[in-house]
């Protein structure tokens, strides 16, 4: 029986459909400010897609593009100005930032109630304690996908390959809160393939194209591929962290690249922005 494809676009469309009536009930448009420093091609594509999603949903979006050589104090001033604007519900600083910028200081300067990326230390603490707050968009989107495809999590063994603050760590915590038994693997893990083969749910977030082969996949497992890598053969094809042909043969369900996890990240950013707008308007 062929592996089931988990369609991120279908999940995104469901999330957007649920957001539209919530936006319509608000007394003003939700507002999202995106700060893009420099000219990273990947970042520019992401920001363009985020602005497009805002337009589709009726969310006010504002793109701020400081000069590439801006210094940390000046960028902090921009963030402070956005924190004080009541019509801006969410602030997103697109990473990676140029080397001269102290990224940690900038992300920590965003007001926690406007942190729609879920990266502020207070919101990370809320995640650890399982207190409602903005969650990191990609892991939150993956949880939505598992829920909407009715893939059981409680009591299952989940393996997360990757320990980044953006995906790996929050992914592991969300799965733990959903009562999975969770193993986090990384570059120093002994016998990585053997650890991965224990997974009922395998999340690959390591940034190495097609690194996960059939040797890593338990037959019937659900495989979530977070990787977005460009091929080095001159075609610039988009490749996941999982070998696509191998996963089709062995997994019970899997996310394709592209069209799997990617659409979920933007969908959850929109969801976090609407959540923030509802909180702000309820408190005024």
Residue numbers annotated as active site: 50, 94, 117
Q: What helix, strand, coil percent values describe the chain, rounded to 5? A: 45, 15, 40
How far is 51 from 179, CA to CA, in rounded Å?
35
End-to-end CA distance of the chain: 55
Give the strand pairing for 229-230 and 238-239: antiparallel
How far is 221 from 161, CA to CA, in rounded Å?
15
Asked whether the beta carbons of 182 and 172 are under 8 A apart, the reply is yes
Read off the tokens for 196.
Answer: 């991965």
In 88-177, the DSSP E strands lie at 90-93, 157-161
258 alpha carbon, distance to own chain's centre: 14
């Amino acid at each position: 029986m062929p592996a089931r494809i988990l369609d991120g676009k279908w999940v995104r469309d469901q999330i957007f459909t649920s957001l539209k009536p919530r936006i319509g009930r608000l007394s003003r448009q939700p507002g999202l400010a995106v700060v893009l420093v420099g000219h990273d091609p990947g970042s520019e594509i992401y920001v363009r897609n985020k602005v497009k999603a805002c337009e589709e949903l009726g969310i006010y979006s504002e793109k701020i593009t400081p000069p590439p050589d801006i210094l940390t104090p000046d960028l902090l001033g921009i963030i402070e100005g956005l924190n004080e604007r009541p019509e801006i519900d969410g602030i997103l600083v697109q990473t990676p930032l140029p080397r001269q910028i102290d990224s940690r200081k900038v992300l920590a300067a965003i007001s926690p109630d406007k942190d729609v990326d879920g990266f502020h230390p207070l919101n990370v603490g809320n995640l650890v304690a399982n207190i409602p707050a903005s969650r990191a968009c990609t892991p939150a989107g993956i949880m939505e996908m598992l829920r909407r495809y009715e893939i059981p999590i409680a009591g299952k063994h989940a393996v997360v390959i990757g320990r980044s603050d953006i995906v790996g760590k929050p992914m592991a915590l969300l799965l733990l809160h959903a009562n999975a038994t969770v193993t986090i693997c990384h570059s120093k893990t002994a016998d990585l393939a053997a650890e991965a083969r224990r997974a009922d749910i395998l999340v690959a977030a390591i940034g190495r194209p097609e690194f996960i082969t059939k040797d890593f996949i338990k037959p019937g497992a659900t495989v979530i591929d977070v990787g977005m890598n460009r091929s080095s053969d001159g075609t610039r094809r988009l490749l996941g962290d999982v070998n696509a042909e191998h996963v089709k043969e062995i997994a019970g369900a899997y996310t394709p690249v592209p069209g799997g996890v990617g659409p979920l990240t933007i969908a959850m950013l929109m969801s976090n922005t609407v959540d923030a707008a509802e909180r702000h308007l309820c408190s005024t």
